[in-house]
Structure 1
């Protein structure tokens, strides 16, 4: 008896050929620059503590400890790749699967393909320049626009994100017509992220990719705080045609500060009613040995391929989305 379960791939053969060509272009790009391709585990004992990320977990019954262990699917290969950097492996890149426990949508599948790379001796501005070169190669765009987080807020919303009070940010949101029946957010970071995603992202990167750098220090994630302006972090994001493509950092190397950020994340998780998560002790031990000065960036390959092919939905460029996995 035949089943009516849809089994066919959602991507056309031509789009899968485009994917293969894209991966070849990326590998050639890094081979020419002597950047080593690496492979690290998808499963780990620690995971991201970031309040805005959710990892898949699995029970491992066969640990050599004799006890059941919870393992986590990576949301990115960042921690493992930084361990390689601490071990002296130099500039590296990886094309891998990443997993985020979020709903599927136009630009997101819970299992997706990521390109992540780290350049020793680079700062975030040098890495932005290299990424711009890659995007020009892949997407045939002109040179990207670069603008600071502060300047793009001033230009688009006439508000300074580094000095505005919560009340001023709330007023800006109301003036823009933000309807908050559930109540207006009471913290600056949530308001800034709302304003950025609703009123800035759609207005940047229309003709060429747009690099936004110098995010508030409170949104540093794993980036260094800027030496010249400690209100900001050496972090950048890349936007093109309404798509957030990449997130990059001048990488934080201080193990004590990194541990404190993880602890702060878990404290915020408790306050938000989210479960605390185990920090990656292997990663923190590696940082204690010393992370070389470096910059790194994670880029969504599926989104990049959508832009390259003009696809309207992520399922058009992956063989089997989560609904057919």
Structure 2
């Protein structure tokens, strides 16, 4: 194949067009408005696990998600909204990753997290075919796989387990890094096999932009979920944080962690904070990777098979 030619077959490009039509029809039937927000932002996410691309000349950043801008629309009274757009993240390369990718993100004022989980299940059944939709508590999966109580296990126990399982020195890991390593390598590959698996009630330390709450046992957890299909993480949803002061505190904590790690420390998004202070409606929101969804629909093994021009061939 010559370098100028697309990496995806024409049939895959046709399938992408058909998928976009199906997704838009899904939301149109539910009265969810499509919106279009800028790809360039004055401030990126502060999450230490995500690195944005900066445009130094313009002092702007390529968005890693349309979340901040869409929340400003929600605070302005938009009602339920969705967006299909490009997002950009440094270090996102591999069979299931590309530095530029297509994201579907939507927000549902008045929805509890369980309502949004059901809607994600409905979309997956529409696109990928009917399967049972089952939800699991994050800690319950750890108990089943490792025979330990995630809430009572101390950091050293988790780090030592990660070292034993995967050879990463315990001394180089913190608690959340050990949890993420164990989850991604030992639990995630088995999720979504013959079903759509929705994992809820994440550790409170991994709340990101989600609210905190209590699980059925009364333990503090992050009110968020992730969706998995055939071992692939496909979507990440939140019961959205509404408190501007709490969000500012989380931004500060993220930036301090970035400083300690020697990472770039971008500005916090003051426009988002102002929107939260004005008043964000009670809502749940979710981001879903459309390229991965298309991969699953077509049964391909690499994202390059569903992208016209992956970054390494752009």
TM-score interval for Structure 1 and Structure 2 normalised by the shorter chain: over 0.9
CA distance in 2 between counterparts of 1:161 and 1:125 reads 23
TM alignment of 1:138-149, pairs within 5 A: 138-149=127-138
Please state whether the residue corresponding to 2:90 is helix, strand or coil.
coil
Q: Which residue of 2 aligns with 1:283?
A: 272
In the superposition, relative to structure 1, how do residues 12 and 306 fare at CA in structure 2: closer, same or farther (>3 Å)? same
TM alignment of 1:300-319, pairs within 5 A: 300-319=289-308
Q: Is the 8 A contact 2:8 2:308 kept in 1?
A: yes
Q: Which of 29, 32, 54 pairs up with 1:32?
A: 29
Return the index of the structure with the highest Cα Rg: 1
CA distance in 2 between counterparts of 1:196 and 1:49 reads 23
TM alignment of 1:56-205, pairs within 5 A: 56-60=53-57, 69-175=58-164, 177-180=165-168, 182-205=169-192
Q: Is the 8 A contact 1:249 1:296 kept in 2?
A: yes
User: Structure 2: 5+ residue runs without aligned partners?
Assistant: none
Give the aligned length: 312
CA distance in 2 between counterparts of 1:106 and 1:292 reads 38
User: Structure 1: 5+ residue runs without aligned partners?
Assistant: 61-68
Query: TM-score when scaled to structure 1?
Result: 0.93
State the superposition RMSD in angstroms: 1.4
Q: Which of 199, 209, 230 pairs up with 1:212?
A: 199
Q: Return the offset for 1:227.
A: 4.6
- For residues 286-313 of structure 1, the C-alpha deviation after alignment (integer angstroms, 9 at most, x for no partner) is 1110000000000000000000000110
Query: TM-score when scaled to structure 2?
Result: 0.96
CA distance in 2 between counterparts of 1:27 and 1:141 reads 19
Q: Is the 8 A contact 2:156 2:170 kept in 1?
A: no
Q: Which residue of 2 aligns with 1:321?
A: 310
1:53 and 2:50 are equivalent in the alignment: yes
CA distance in 2 between counterparts of 1:31 and 1:103 reads 31
1:241 and 2:217 are equivalent in the alignment: no
Please state whether the residue corresponding to 2:256 is helix, strand or coil.
helix
